[in-house]
Amino acid sequence: MGNMFRFTGLLFVTLLPGVLAAQQPPALPALKQEAAAQVDGLQTLTQQMVDEIFSFSELGFQEFETSRYVTGILEKNGFQVELGVAGIPTAWVATYGSGKPVIAFITDLDCIPRASQKPGVAYHAPMIEGAPGHGEGHNSGMAVNVTAALVLKKLMDKHHLAGTIRLIPGVAEELLGTKAFYLRAGLFKDVDVVLGAHVSHQFATTYATGEGTWSGLVSVQYFFHGKAAHAAARPWEGLSALDAVSLMNAGWEFRREHLRPQQRSHYIVLNGGDQPNVVPSEAAVWYYFRELDYPHIKELYELGNTMAQAATMMTGTTVHHKLVGSAWPPFLNKVIAEAQQENIEAVGMPKWSDSDQTLAKALQKEIGAKVEGMKENVEPLSEPAKNPTGGVSDDVGDISWNVPMVYLMYPANIPNLPGHSWANGVAMAAPIAHKGSTAGAKVQAMTALDFLRQPELVKQAWDYFRNVQTKEVHYESFLSPDDKPAIEMNKEKMEKFAPQLKKFYYDPTRYKTYLEQLGIQYPTVKAQP
């Protein structure tokens, strides 16, 4: 008996330091290494997500299959999912863990009209003529963020790490249609750090105004109302809504010369009437007004409204307008970007195969771009532009003015492509996108760990946000209390193509990859003369 007591006592004493050590999570570098290894272990799932979402090809506000699929994976893995948030049927919030800090991942879901393209094929070859397609590469974003989140969940369970992981989809990003509504609904009010991810040909991050090529915008539709009449028998009895559209556009083109060079504005005619022998009683035009900051965007918006009003005075018509999208130009957090940059450098560029390079070069040649293949190196963190020129917009900008945020560009596409076109879809269900998404997921998970494990870094990010970024500029939403998300948009287009698209949905239970399912040789390039 006595011996046994002595023995267990001894055992207890010798085991005690070991038990205590086991309760302490590993140091941050070891945690990051473990995260990267786990992301590698999920490569098949990452590839399946990239391919599956590519095959759904859903336009903004109609991402029903995509959202069902992604939330299904998250729910199965123990995340709590709330569907239909902010009055948007395809929007959701998925959460794991509890307490502070709250780290939110965001990335887009939607695709581009008429961008249907066979993956792995280096020339224009639509899967379905005229159908939407992932000609922006948004199909890879959820693969990045979900992979990172699943790995973080495992590490949080295993090492008892405190904190909350939240995933939010960038529904209808191509319409700049949701983020202001997310903020109005309070989706970010308890969030400490936002880690956005977007497809790129680079592996890079940035802070403040970055390269200076971001604009903010409002997206506004003008609906003119006139009076129908027989266009030949009694044209004098009609009032043409199309005339008003034409005059508004002509007015805008003249005025354009006298606007700041930083503005960018463009429009499409939404409705030009029904047939020439009927004076159009209804016509509509859709404008994007882009500028560098809130006051200048507001000014353009008001000028647009004035032009529309003036067109009604010339034509005897009436007009009403609808705001269908808005975005602040993004401003990214220096503290998070610096942490993220270290992780980008630690992960490094994926190893591109000869096939990847052949596809990239053949596509660059095909579209008349500079032929240089894939990027081999990550980008350094550069100083933000002193004089931004403006250019593209993304409604994550609104989030960046409410919570410290960074935007990871992960290397899942080919350089020198035009954007928003079939060419940008070529690599997006091919090994280039699969490898780039795995690399991106590593950086997302590692950067989340930086902020989960270092409360002082969260504090520093907020110091930059409060004392540098928002010292003089304060967020004001472009939304009026009556504005509602434009959830009806793209409904008809999607309904038209859904039956054909369904035939091409990826089935990972039968095929290892989507290329295999489609029977596409990788890469497929035109024969060289």
Least Å distance, CB 325 to Zn ion, is: 13
Q: Which is nearer to Zn ion, 312 or 326 (CB)?
A: 326
Least Å distance, CB 138 to Zn ion, is: 6
Least Å distance, CB 199 to Zn ion, is: 7
Find all residues with CB under 8 Å of 426, minimum gap 6, and list them: 117, 119, 120, 121, 122, 359, 363, 414
Least Å distance, CB 419 to Zn ion, is: 9
Q: What is the dihedral of CA 452, 455, 461, 466, to 10 degrees?
A: 130
Q: Are 194 and 405 in contact (CB under 8 A)?
A: yes
Q: Which is nearer to Zn ion, 112 or 525 (CB)?
A: 112
Nearest to 156 by CA among 438, 452, 442: 452
Nearest residue to the partner Zn ion, using Cβ: 136
Q: Are 304 and 217 in contact (CB under 8 A)?
A: no
Q: Which is nearer to Zn ion, 102 or 423 (CB)?
A: 423
Q: Which is nearer to Zn ion, 52 or 394 (CB)?
A: 394
Least Å distance, CB 180 to Zn ion, is: 17
Least Å distance, CB 137 to Zn ion, is: 7
- Tokens 């004493």 identify what position? 13
Q: How far is CA 302 from CA 220, 298, 308, 327, 457, in A?
A: 11, 6, 10, 16, 41
Nearest to 225 by CA among 180, 181, 179, 283: 283
Residue type, 448: A
Least Å distance, CB 277 to Zn ion, is: 42
**In the stretch 127-166, what mask flags binding to Zn ion with x, by CB under 5 A?**
---------x------------------------------
Query: Residues 203 to 232: which contact Zn ion by CB under 5 A?
Result: none
Q: Which is nearer to Zn ion, 136 or 450 (CB)?
A: 136
Q: Which is nearer to Zn ion, 136 or 338 (CB)?
A: 136
**In the stretch 269-308, what mask flags binding to Zn ion with x, by CB under 5 A?**
----------------------------------------
Runs of H (alpha helix) within 105-184: 141-159, 179-184
Q: Which is nearer to Zn ion, 60 or 101 (CB)?
A: 60
Residue type, 484: K
Least Å distance, CB 444 to Zn ion, is: 16
The per-residue b/e assignment along 102-111, b for 16 or more CB within 10 angstroms, e otherwise, is bbbbbbbbbb
If one counts every other C-beta atom within 10 angstroms of the C-beta of residue 377, the result is 10
CA 517 to mean position of chain CA atoms: 27
Find all residues with CB under 8 Å of 381, minimum gap 6, and list them: 205, 206, 207, 337, 338, 341
| Size of the residue set binding Zn ion (CB under 5 A) | 1
Q: Which is nearer to Zn ion, 110 or 450 (CB)?
A: 110
The residues of the shown chain that bind Zn ion, judged by CB under 5 A, are: 136
